[in-house]
Amino acid sequence: MPALDRQGDVFVLDLGDGENRFHPDWLAAVDAALDEVEKADGPRALVTAATGKFYSNGLDLDWLFAHADQHQDYVVSVHALFARLLSLPVVTVAALQGHTFAAGAMFSLAHDFRVMRADRGFWCLPEADINIPFTPGMSALIQSRLTPRTAHEAMVTARRYGGHDALAAGIVDHTADEDAVRTTAVGIAQAQAAKAGDTLATIKARMYAPVLAALRDTANPLG
């Protein structure tokens, strides 16, 4: 389960050591961690990271198939997490040490910056292959953070981007060796810790107003 630690001004949220899919309990734990980061005072920033082969594989499809009647509420809660992270009043950096797929990849795009392991692991939006179309909110999130060309290729072809390809496509901001992924992310976060606060919150809220509105559309989240 997700666990929050603090190193200097940087909170480090470890998303887990499995596939780190979005089980409702996982979502609640991440939400509680964001509460703690948001309520803290003074300079601070957030790094999300994970342990093992996966950063996150996204939606918990096993849980979802077993609770099909809760599909809409579940998507609302995932959208709410994306919206909260996208507008968090501190700088956020995702340390992608392993596979980052589907809603896990979207979660990474809701951060301010991304550092990806250079030599192993893929960033991928497989939705076109697995017959789960992006919700309007997910589509808005992805398209707001990537160039038109990269968003189109990633969403239409389900291409698996290794670290170097993800950097070239502008999906991630840095690559690093396995050992340096988390420390690089913490370094970026520490350098931006003084930005935490209301001004940053307003800047992000205005930049992504249409995306946040789409993600918070609880009446029709599935489109």
The tokens for 96 are 């992608």
**Sole binder of its own copies in the list 17, 206, 213, 218 (CB under 8 A):** 206
Q: Does 174 bind its own copies (CB under 8 A)?
A: no
Nearer to its own copies, 99 or 204 (CB): 204
Tokens, residue 1 = 């389960």
Among 132, 160, 165, 187, binds its own copies (CB under 8 A): 132
Residue 93 or residue 176: which is nearer to its own copies going by CB? 93
Of residues 177 through 196, those in contact with its own copies by CB under 8 A are 192, 194-195
CA–CA distance, 70 with 67 (Å, rounded to integer): 6
By CB under 8 A, is residue 133 in contact with its own copies? yes
Determine if 139 is a binding residue for its own copies (CB under 8 A). Answer: yes
Among 73, 149, 177, 213, binds its own copies (CB under 8 A): 149
Task: Report how far residue 194's alpha carbon sits from residue 156's, in angstroms, rounded to the nearest whole number.
Answer: 39
Q: Is 143 in the site for its own copies (CB under 8 A)?
A: yes
* Contact flag: residue 8 with its own copies (CB under 8 A): no
173 binds its own copies (CB under 8 A): yes
Q: Is 141 in the site for its own copies (CB under 8 A)?
A: no
Asked whether 44 and 80 are in contact (CB, 8 A), the reply is no
Please report, as ranges, the residues that interact with its own copies according to CB under 8 A.
91, 112, 127-129, 131-136, 139, 143-149, 151-153, 155-158, 170, 173, 192, 194-195, 197-200, 202-204, 206-207, 209, 223
